[in-house]
Structure 1
Amino acid sequence: MSSSDQTFRGTRRPLRALVGAAALIAVLAGTAGCGSSQASTDGRDGGTVTLRIPDPGNEGVLARGKKDGSLDTALSTVGARVAWTGSAGPFAPAAQAINANQLDVALGSITSAVGALATSPGFTLFAAAQPDPVGEGILVRADSPIRGVADLAGRKVAVNQGGTGEYLLLRALATAGVPADRVQRVYLRPDQSAPAFDSGQVDAWASWSTYVVSALAGGARMLVDGRTLGSDNATVWAVRSAFAREHPEVVRALYTYLHDSSVAYRQNPEPYVNVFTDAGPQSVNGRAKEITLDFARQGSPVEPIGPDLLRRFDAVAQFFVDAGVTKQKVDVGAHVLDVATLPGSRP
């Protein structure tokens, strides 16, 4: 990466308009077959409601649900089916795809959701899981002289803007009493962050389990994890707001499936790893598989978004305002659906 690339940004400098475009294309790439011939604007294909979800890849409850057909079976009870579109990735481009009516459901974090709600509130949050205590954090290379958060002063740290990475870094600095402007935030997409980190163009990388696993397996060191820095970055599930209004019974059925499957996943994660293949770039093996299974066992099941989570979401939104990440405080509660209130739900 040349010095003229200008990808490396200082604190609160604007993100380039093109950042995120490639990720958005990845999300939308598989949606060409989901136009009017497959699903109308109200999500119906004839008499069946079509629920568009990013393809889950090779790991997790949705991957298993895709392989064994159990998700379609669960949705069929309310007259719905899944259309797998594009591929799972960061939440920001998925939120754009939801707003463009190219996607109905996406998985992210409350920090990324707050960042997206600040500019594009076309989705509703309907479920969450407790913050990942060990799978998110700040990484440094194995030979790095950085031994504590205070050592980040004067360094470059890769983060995704307005999401998990930026939140984790700012939270760590606040906890350690390091002024935020003493550290250069380098705004990169996760797929850009890995090569920048590996090549030494940044000194540290704040990220989450999707990317942390491979970094740790490759020899990186976790400087501080979510539990240590007191992260309250819950995982959240989002649904296109118009879809939720038109098909609440489908959202309810999806929630029930996610809840039950996430309980089983935590108890015995092995069947949810390498679901389709145990070879090739999508698979995890050796040390990476050990880390993945360990993270899964320490995770939490999907649950409704009740008053306690709402209060904590509000605190995250306030943190982002205080840190200057968002200009105004996002009213997260205005974009939350309590699945416990849906008729027939079983949260």
Structure 2
Amino acid sequence: MTFHPRHILLPALIALGLATPAAATDTVKLRYLASQGGLAAHELAAELGYFEGTGITLENVGYAQGGPASLIALASGDVEIGSAATSAVLNSIIGGNDFVAAYPSNGINDEVQSTFYVLEDSPIKGIKDIAGKSIAVNTLGAHLDYTIREALHSVDLPTDAANQIVVPGPQLEQVLRSKQVDIAAFGYWQTTFEGAALKNGGLRAIFDDTDVLGDIAGGFVVLRRDFIRQHPEVSKIFVEQSARALDYAREHPEETKKILAKALSERGENADIAQYFRGYGVRAGGLPVERDIQFWIDVLVREGKLKQGQLAAKDILFTADAKPASN
């Protein structure tokens, strides 16, 4: 895996395992945008050597502020790998992009979740209190955005009743402690930043996304359908070895933290936060179930962004020879 510390100049916004891997018939370089403070499963797979001898190489070409930016780069051809919250992926598909959900990037469960924090002395106690309040999120139109909407909907409040403010992950703690926002949302992929903030004390959780969504995949790594058609074996190996890395992280958490620390250091980031990594939160085998997609399809139908039956989870999930895990 190579890393070039530069940002892609993105175009204007558009609508949004195997023990021994087989070798692909072609040699392909897969470019992607990294996420600050974290390591995607395909990056972990590369660090573990899972792509060696397969004909697949990865190239980190910069950072994405959030999932929608990653999808923009994917749609424009600046990268071959995208990654975003499920809701953002679906919105991008609705907007005309022919994307396939390759594998769950993360999941939310009792061990890994997105948590909404306030200062200890805040009068905000629960979901009903967030109406009219400012909430720091990493980006709009993605997981935290839609979690907030669903949380408000669950208590019969307008889904736009809270004021969401975009704040990069490394600054979440700072803007909350300086009272620039009322609430800071640490996404399931930002447990490293969350752990560092909690170590400093004085914060209180008011709810998390599992309270609203239950156990579910939080987002997906995404490939273009035309890429899969052009490189079916590469795509299959990429998904299999990334899923293998997800299992490795669950089975070897301490070793994974060391790998994350090394990767963060090489990228010029704070390696100390790797100690707070809590895992990816995905099911054994790294496979999705249809509910991971269907839940958000139903939300978008309810919001009038989709017609009933317009999209089906089975048409979006990558399967190759392997089928999604059963419900």
**TM-score, normalisation: structure 1:** 0.70
Matched, 1:147 2:130: no
Count of residue correspondences: 292
Choose the corresponding residue for 1:213, options 178, 187, 192: 192
Provide the secondary structure at the position in 2 that maps to 1:339. Answer: coil
Alignment of 1:1-347 (within 5 A): 28=8, 48-55=27-34, 59=39, 61-68=41-48, 70-73=49-52, 76-77=53-54, 79-87=55-63, 89-128=65-104, 131-133=107-109, 134-159=112-137, 160-181=139-160, 183-188=161-166, 190-191=168-169, 194=172, 196-219=175-198, 220-231=203-214, 232-275=216-259, 276=262, 282-285=269-272, 288-292=273-277, 295-296=278-279, 299-301=282-284, 303-305=286-288, 309-323=289-303, 326=305, 331=311, 333=313, 334-341=315-322
Distance 1:279 1:341, change over 3 A: closer
Q: Is this contact kept in 1: 2:45–2:241, CA < 8 A?
A: no
Question: Match of 1:86, SS?
Answer: strand
Q: Equivalents in 2 of 1:312, 1:60: separation in Å?
A: 18
Distance 2:33 2:186 in 1: 21
Distance 1:113 1:302, change over 3 A: farther
CA distance in 2, matches of 1:313, 1:122: 15
CA distance in 2, matches of 1:162, 1:178: 19
Aligned partner letter, 2:28: V
Q: Distance in 2 between matches of 1:216 and 1:158?
A: 17
d(CA) in 2 for partners of 1:151, 1:244: 45
Tell me which amino acid in the other structure corresponds to 1:80. Answer: I
Partner Cα separation in structure 2 for residue 221 and residue 27 of structure 1 = 35
Deviations 1:44-74 (A, max 9, x none): xxx6222223357764544444445x1431x
Sequence identity percentage: 17
1:221, CA displacement in angstroms?
2.8
Q: 1:61 to 1:313 in 2, by over 3 A?
A: closer
Residues 304 and 339 in structure 1, CA contact (< 8 A), matched pair in contact too: no
Instruction: Structure 2 unaligned segments of length 5 or more: list them.
Output: 11-25
